[in-house]
Amino acid sequence: MGRPGEPHRPVRRGARLKPGAVPPTHAGLPPEDAVHLFAALGDDVRLSIVGNLSDRGPQSITELARHAPISRQAITKHLHVLESAGIATSERSGRERIWRLQAHRLTTAQRYLDRISSRWDDAIARLEAHLQEPA
């Protein structure tokens, strides 16, 4: 609140942090990192690539393009987005690059979602208990 006599000012959602303030983390994931991670996973083509790498293991761009309705160049662009988010990495093998998932990043995303889910479960349980109280 404020000082006595001062009007109440609600906290704005999305308000900027004061200089030097540390943003809250969820499951060890700073908000800006969560945005980057989930933005990379938020595209249907990239999500399909993640599923493909998860199901079939490390693959070259040529192998990934066999299972996708887009060009190798488009696959490459999507892989670079996944790489910048830490979801996939590559290493050279002869003339090709072999891409693989970084499971710890997917585990981090899962922990983040589990924490949010748990909060919703708790809120729903409190609401149910409140609604079952006698009037």
pLDDT in tens, 37-94: 999 999 999 999 999 999 999 999 999 999 888 999 999 999 999 999 999 999 999 9
Strand 59-60's sheet: what is its strand order? 59-60, 96-101, 88-93
Whether 76 contacts 87, CB under 8 Å:
no
Rounded Cα gap, residues 23 and 32, in angstroms: 9
Question: How far, in Å, CA of 110 to CA of 73, rounded?
Answer: 29
Q: What is the pTM of this model?
A: 0.66
Using DSSP bridges, classify how beta strands 88-93 and 59-60 pair: parallel, antiparallel or unpaired.
unpaired
Average pLDDT over residues 101-109: 90
* Average pLDDT of the chain, as a whole number: 80
Strand 96-101 relative to strand 88-93: parallel, antiparallel, unpaired?
A: antiparallel
Element (H, E) at 26: none
Q: Are strands 59-60 and 96-101 parallel, antiparallel or unpaired?
A: antiparallel
Residue 4: per-residue pLDDT = 47
More confident residue, 60 or 4: 60
Q: Which tops the pLDDT comparison, 73 or 28?
A: 73
CA distance 61 to 47: 15
Sign of CA dihedral 64, 69, 70, 72: positive
Domains of the chain: 31-111 (1.10.10.10)
